[in-house]
Amino acid sequence: MEIARDVEKALSKLVRDPVVTIIVTSFVGPYSEQIRVVGEAAKPQALPYKQKMTLLDVMIAVGGLTDFADGNGASITRASEGDKRYSVRLKDLIKRGDISANVEMKPGDILIIPQGWF
C-alpha cells in the first residue's frame, strides 16, 4: 500500500487523481531466507525458502540438471552450521528416483552443482 501511495503522489504531478495498485509477483527475501542454486542447474537462481523444503523441491524449481552436470558430485553449503559442506547425490535422486538421496533444505543453504568430466 505504501508503494502505491508513493507512486500515486509522484504521478499526481502528471495525472489528475491517479489510482495505483501494486501486485507483488515474487519475493526472494534476504540471503538468510534464500536457497541459492549455482552451477549446472537448468535455471540457476535464488529461491525463497519454504518450510519443509527438500532437495527434490529445489531441483524441480530450477528445472533439473544440465547435460553436463556432475549430479553426484554436488554439495550443499549450510550457512547455519558455519558453512559446513555436505555431499548430495542429485543424479541418484533425479535420474534413478532414489528417494534416500532427498534431504531437507535449510534457510541460507547454497546448492553447488559442478560440471562433470564425462
Cell numbers describing residue 114: 559442478
The yes-or-no verdict on residue 31 having pLDDT over 80 is no
User: What residue spans define the domains of the chain?
Assistant: 27-113
pLDDT tens-digit map of 37-92? 999 999 999 999 999 999 999 999 999 999 999 999 999 999 889 999 999 999 99
Say if residues 49 and 107 touch (Cβ distance below 8 Å).
Answer: yes
pLDDT tens-digit map of 86-117? 999 999 999 999 999 999 999 999 999 999 87
CB half-sphere exposure, 55, CA atoms < 13 A: 29
CATH of domain 27-113: 3.10.560.10
| Run of H or E including 6 | helix 2-11
Predicted TM-score of the model (pTM): 0.76
pLDDT tens-digit map of 36-45? 999 999 999 9
The closest of 77, 105, 103 to 89, measured between CA atoms, is 103
